């Protein structure tokens, strides 16, 4: 399939290692954050979300960390698998009916 | 698991032609979004519907783009006339109420304008 992004930052990890993908968000008033995974030729797939009243949230093999002081969000993937290879986007939202703003994606490449 | 449906998946057209994309959101989702994603970038909102009403179309190029959601369920996005720069992935998403909630995306329609 075609590439989702051609000139994105790329993170290469060995299968089984942990991955950390970082995102700097823009609006200090944003109070809801989402990580999406996008495979080639597909739409973004919801992974995990976090609200601003939390600084950490865990899912299955994934953890999201939020540092409001420096407006930084990270996604940690434990025991990275080949199926995790994709482009990952963070998105931020301000309370109410406002647009979801996507950050620049990061391409994760898992080396078997 | 309920999903957002989109069709067609791929569309090739010549410039100055009209194209239309269809989206069926997750059942019960009041809010529907159309995004455009250029290769290498994140999705950018074109239009947002709350039921059948447009709540944000500030980024929709209204001279050539139109969107409707007549019965508050499925939606159509139209481009007339298409231009070379319209080549992109067009994504539809939906959320339950739209108020700071998760948006679920469809598979997208890949448009190529020749």
Q: Give pLDDT tens digits for B49-68.
A: 999 999 999 999 999 999 99
Q: How many other CB atoms sit within 10 Å of the CB of residue B34?
A: 25
**pLDDT for A59 beyond 60:** yes
**What is the pLDDT confidence band of residue B98, given thresholds at 50, 70 and 90?**
confident
Contacts of A51 in chain B (CB under 8 A): 100
Predicted confidence at residue A96, as pLDDT, reads 61
Place of tokens 């995990």: A48
Say if the Cβ atoms of A95 and B102 lie within 8 Å: no
Angle at B110 between CA B106 and CA B114, to 5 degrees: 160
Pick from A99-103, B10-14, B33-37: least confident: A99-103
**pLDDT for B18 beyond 70:** yes
Predicted confidence at residue A3, as pLDDT, reads 35
B13–chain A Cβ distance below 8 A for any pair:
no
The answer to whether B40 and A6 are in contact (CB under 8 A) is yes
Q: What average pLDDT does the segment A82-107 reach?
A: 87
B39–chain A Cβ distance below 8 A for any pair:
yes
Residue A61 neighbours by CB under 8 Å, 6+ apart: A77, A78, A79
Angle at B48 between CA B46 and CA B52, to 5 degrees: 135
The answer to whether A112 and B114 are in contact (CB under 8 A) is no
């Amino acid at each position: 399939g075609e590439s989702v992004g051609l000139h994105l930052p790329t993170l290469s990890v060995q299968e089984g290692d942990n991955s950390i993908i970082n995102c700097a968000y823009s609006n200090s008033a944003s109070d809801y954050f989402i990580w999406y995974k996008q495979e080639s030729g597909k739409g973004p797939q919801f992974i995990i979300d976090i609200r601003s009243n939390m600084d950490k949230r865990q899912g299955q093999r994934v953890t999201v960390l939020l540092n409001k002081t420096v407006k930084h969000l990270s996604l940690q993937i434990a025991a990275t698998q080949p199926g995790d290879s994709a482009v990952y986007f963070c998105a931020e939202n301000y309370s109410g009916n406002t647009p979801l703003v996507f950050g620049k994606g990061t391409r994760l490449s898992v080396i078997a | 698991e309920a999903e957002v449906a989109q069709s067609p998946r791929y569309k090739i057209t010549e410039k100055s032609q009209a194209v239309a994309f269809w989206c069926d959101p997750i059942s019960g989702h009041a809010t529907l979004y159309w995004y455009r994603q250029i290769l290498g970038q994140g999705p950018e909102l074109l239009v947002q519907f709350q039921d059948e009403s447009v709540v944000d179309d500030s980024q929709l190029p209204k001279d050539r783009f139109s969107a409707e959601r007549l019965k508050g369920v499925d939606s159509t996005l139209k481009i007339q006339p298409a231009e070379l720069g319209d080549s992109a992935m067009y994504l539809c998403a939906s959320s339950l109420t739209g108020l700071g909630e998760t948006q679920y995306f469809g598979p997208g329609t890949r448009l190529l304008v020749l």
